[in-house]
Structure formats: structure tokens, C-alpha cells
Amino acid sequence: TTREFKHHVVMFPFMAQGHIIPFLELAKLLAKRTGFAITIANTPLNIRSLRPEIDSTGAGLDIRLAELPFSTAGHGLPPQTENTDFLPYNLFFPFLQASEQLEPHFERLICRICQEDGGRLPLCIISDMAFGWTLDVGNRLGIPRIQFCTAGAYGTSVYYSLWTHLPHNQTHADDFVLPDMPHVTLQRSQLPTNIKMATGSDPWSLFMNRQISRNVRSWGSICNTFEQLEHSSLQHMRKSTGRPVWAVGPILPSSLLSSSPSNTKLDSDFLLRGKQTEAKSARACLQWLDSQAPSTVLYVSFGSQNSISLSNMKALALGLESSQQPFIWVVRPPVEAPLNSELSAEFLSDGFEERVKEKKLGLLIRKWAPQLLILSHPSTGGFLSHCGWNSVLESLSQGIPIIGWPMAGDQFTNSKVLEEEMEVCIEMWRGKEGELKPETVERTVRMVMKEEKGNRLRQRAAEIREAALKAVSEDKNGEKKGSSVCAVDDMIRELTVGYQC
């Protein structure tokens, strides 16, 4: 029997939660809108943790999972390292290098899919910014490759520009301007460590060059952002690549994007994400949040990759305590702690955990929090964040202002644009180094949570939430569809018109 003809899209995220999560949401969005078959490729461990989520929130959609063998042998990585979540900084680059060995396996997968589809090529490859080499696979097989930027358009453009104008280690001046983005002035302290050290010919520079040069030559780019939020940066990307850039975001679970979010619902969107969240810790969060007044709780989290230093951890603890503002803090062992260590009380200031528990001032969550549940709860009023792009979108989609503490990658420029242009953020601290003072934490928390400045930020965040809802609104009830929905439809049209059987 011949199977019904169905277009097939192959997606391939980098092995980190901040990439896998938006790829999965994009897969659901495309499957829902088009009815196409989607295959998500990844390493066995990540595929195993995706499966329950596909079975629940992806039920009824044709989303398939494909395992690619991944060997880190010879790269100095602990055995079974299949993603970069909480990987120590010095192991991150070896992991990136190992990821390039996925190329033949990925190519074989595509050939197998093609065979199973009766010789029809997949419609396109949508792959990570870290996998520029998937363009070569696409070119060899005659399949368009699209890069999916899980960072914002501003963050991506500046990041690419920094890597293409190396070195910056000569840059002693505090302020400097990028040659191809003269409107962007950066400070040296806003350079991620790897870029600060890059010479242009070291292995990390060469790796980035291999990926970026292919990313910008790809068939097009999908960005997890929306026109109204980042129009000028999107235009910059379009001009500099000469290729289409579709702003289809914010790509978030639909429950976060409805005009009346189901705030207290413990549904699977909230629970299964990132697999580590247990129902027990989600219930504890919910109970605690329910006992607090509206918009009073500060949520503190640095994403899935970063920890802070021991001294900064103690300062943060003391500052939060003296701010007297209720908080939920996702605590992890400091950067100095050995790999896989548990969080112990000695990492915090003496008796901190007991004191804040007793005063009902704070809730500490270990390792992994139900972030969407927390951000969408009416008691949450601020987010002290490392400014990872997913966290940024999740926060703004709930109208929640941000206290910025960027640490790596695009986070520095995210924090910058959030503060200077979007006016929804105050940057509190920058980088993992230096001695943060508890008073700095206390002052900034009060400013954002209690003072007039905070109200202005909250107002702006609420406006951005409205704009985000508009961007993703469907064409129903006679309403015009939003810019992000149009972008998805445009992309599909362009792909299917050019499709050759």
C-alpha cells in the first residue's frame, strides 16, 4: 500500500534545554498548522526525555523522534555526556567539537527518511545555529536548510558580528563599536569569556567560523521573536544575509499565550518541560505562591547551563533576605563545586535556608523549577534572570519585568537591549566574576519590586505581552492573523512552492 503523501520536516536542536525546548514548541506549532510529519533528531538520552512530552502535549500530532549515536570518546568528557546542561565551562567546547561528528549519522538518517517516504526528500532541514554543517548535508542531498535562531534577532546579530570580527583581545577601550553594526556600542565587560579570549585562529574561533559562515548562507532563518519587538534587528539580519528571516515567535506553549492563562493549572506543559521537574516540587511551588500577595514574589533563576560563584551566591542570599521581598530561588551548587555535587547548606550563608523558611520569606528549589508555572502565577512580580532568551520571552509573555544578571553568550546583549531599548529590565550584575555586594542585590530588588521605577518596567512588560499575544493571534473570529502566524505561513508557502518531488 502506498502511504498518503505528506511533507516531512527534519528538525535538529543542539543538545541543551534552552535549544531543545523551543525546537519542540516549534515542531508542535508546525505540525499543528500544516499536518506535516516532523522528525526531531537528537542523541538517545535527549530523545528519551522528549518522548513523554511528545506523548502528552504533542498527542495527535505527527511528531517522530530519531536517535543519533553520539560518542564523546577522545574529547575528555565524562561518559554519557549527551547534553550541556550544567556542564562545567571547560567541557563546553570539547562537547561542541564532539557534536560535529554527528554529521554522517545525520546524513544517514535523512537518507533513511527519504527511503521510507518512497524516495521523496524531506521538505527541509530546520537545525540549530550550532549545527551550521547541516547546510552541507542539505546541499549534498538537495534539501533546503533553515537555521533556527533560539536567541533573539539582536542577540544573534551581535553574536555573529563579534565572532566574525576577531580578535577583540586588543580591545582595551571600555566602549567599542562593531564595524557592521555601528549603532551598537559595547563594553568589554559585555563580551562573553570565549569571545574575549578568541584570536581568530584558535579552535573555538575556527569552530564558530565554520558554523556561522554556513548559517548565513542557509536557505533562510527562523527567529524566536516577533516583528514588533525586534523589527530593526530582523531587518539587519535580512540585509546582511540576503535571505528571508521569519520571525515566528514567541514560540511558547499555547497556555502561556492565551489572554486568560490557566494560572493555577498543573498541566503537562508546565510539569514535563525539562523532565527534571517533579510533580511534588511543582505542587510545593504552587502552594507557596498561592499564599503570597499578587505581584510580590521575585523568581530567581539562571537557566539550565549557568551557576554563580560561591561568594556571589552568599551575597545574593544575604541581599534577598534583607530586601524582605518574598522569593523563589532555583539554587544550584556554585561554579567551584565538583561536578555532580549536591547543593549543601554551606554554599549559602549560615542558617539562611532555615531563616527564610521560618519567616515564610523564601522558597528554595533545588536544580530544576517549573519555570512556566512560576512565571504565570499572579503572585510573581519580577524575575532575576541570566537573560537567556527563552527566559526573557517567558517573562515578557507574562508581563514580568527582569533584573538582569547576564553571564555568557548572547545574555549580555539581551540584558542590554532589554534595559536600553525595551525598558523592561535593570541590569544588576554582569558576569560570573567580581564581588557582588548584598546591598546591590537589596537595592535593585527593592527598586524593581517596590518602587516607581519598577512600576514603569512592569507597564512596559505588559505592553510587550499584549504585542506578543497579537503577533501569535490566529485568523479567527474575523480578526487578522498576527505577524508571527503570517511568517509561518509565508515560510511554508515558499518551501512547498519550490518543492521538487
Summarize as ranges the residues that interact with ligand UDP (CB under 6 A): 16-18, 21, 273-274, 301, 303-305, 330, 368-369, 371-372, 388-391, 394
- Judge residue 115's burial from the number of C-beta atoms within 10 Å of its C-beta, 0-12 exposed, 13-18 middle, 19 or more buried: exposed
Considering the complex, state which of residue 330 and residue 445 has its C-beta at the smaller distance from ligand UDP.
Answer: 330
Residue 38: helix, strand or coil by DSSP? strand
Distance in angstroms (rounded) separating the CA atoms of residues 1 and 220: 36
Q: Provide, rounded to whole angstroms, the least separation between the CB of residue 27 and ligand UDP.
A: 15
Q: Which of 210, 248, 256 lies closest to 230, judged by CA?
A: 248
CB of 225 to ligand UDP, least distance (A): 13
Helix, strand or coil, per DSSP, at residue 298: strand
Q: Residue 276 to residues 85, 367, 425, 444, 463: CA-CA distances in angstroms?
A: 11, 8, 28, 31, 32
| CA-based nearest residue to 159, from 229, 79, 219, 215 | 215
**Please, where are the H alpha helices in 187-297?**
193-197, 203-215, 227-241, 268-272, 279-290
* Residue (281 or 379) nearer to ligand UDP, CB: 281
Strand, coil or helix: 380: strand
In angstroms, what is the minimal distance from the CB of 86 to ligand UDP? 10
Comparison of 85 and 321: residue with beta carbon closer to ligand UDP: 85
**Closer residue to ligand UDP, CB minimum distance, 63 or 256:** 256
For ligand UDP, the closer CB: 51 or 112: 51
With cell 582595551, the residue in question is 172
Q: Which is nearer to ligand UDP, 128 or 394 (CB)?
A: 394
Among residues 46 and 304, whose Cβ is nearest to ligand UDP? 304
Closest residue to ligand UDP, judged by C-beta, is 18
Length of the chain: 501
> What's the min distance (Å) between Cβ of 372 and ligand UDP?
6
Nearer to ligand UDP, 274 or 382 (CB): 274
Residue with smaller CB distance to ligand UDP, 138 or 370: 370
Q: What is the closest distance, in whole angstroms, from the C-beta atom of residue 6 to ligand UDP in the complex?
A: 30
Residue 92 C-beta: closest distance to ligand UDP, Å: 12
Buried b (16+ CB within 10 A) or exposed e, 84-109: bbbbeeebbebbbbbbebbeebbbeb
CB of 302 to ligand UDP, least distance (A): 7
413 with 155: CB under 8 angstroms?
A: yes
Q: Pick between residue 36 and residue 288 the one whose CB is nearest to ligand UDP.
A: 288
The one-letter amino acid at 31: A
**Taking Cα atoms as reference points, which of 354, 351, 313, 357 lies closest to residue 331?**
313
Interatomic CA distance for residues 103 and 133, integer angstroms: 7
Phi-psi domain of 398 (left: phi exceeds 0; alpha: psi -120 through 50; beta: other): alpha
Q: Whose Cβ is closer to ligand UDP: residue 320's or residue 495's?
A: 320
Whole-angstrom distance, CA of residue 189 vs CA of residue 175: 9
Peptide bond into 44 cis (omega under 30): no
C-alpha span between 37 and 62 (Å, rounded): 5
When the beta carbons of 215 and 390 are compared against ligand UDP, the nearer one is 390
CA gap 405, 50 in Å, rounded: 29
Query: Distance between CA atoms of 331 and 6, rounded to whole angstroms?
Result: 46
Q: How far is the CB of 35 from ligand UDP (least distance, A)?
A: 26
For the chain, how long is the longest CA-to-CA vector? Answer: 71
Grid cell 523564601 in the structure block, residue: 362
d(CA 98, CA 400): 38
Task: Give the nearest distance from C-beta 192 to ligand UDP in angstroms.
Answer: 12
Cell numbers 551575597 correspond to what residue?
A: 315
Shortest distance in whole angstroms from residue 267 CB to ligand UDP: 14
Output the nine-digit C-alpha cell for 207. Answer: 569552530
CB atoms within 10 A of CB 232: 11
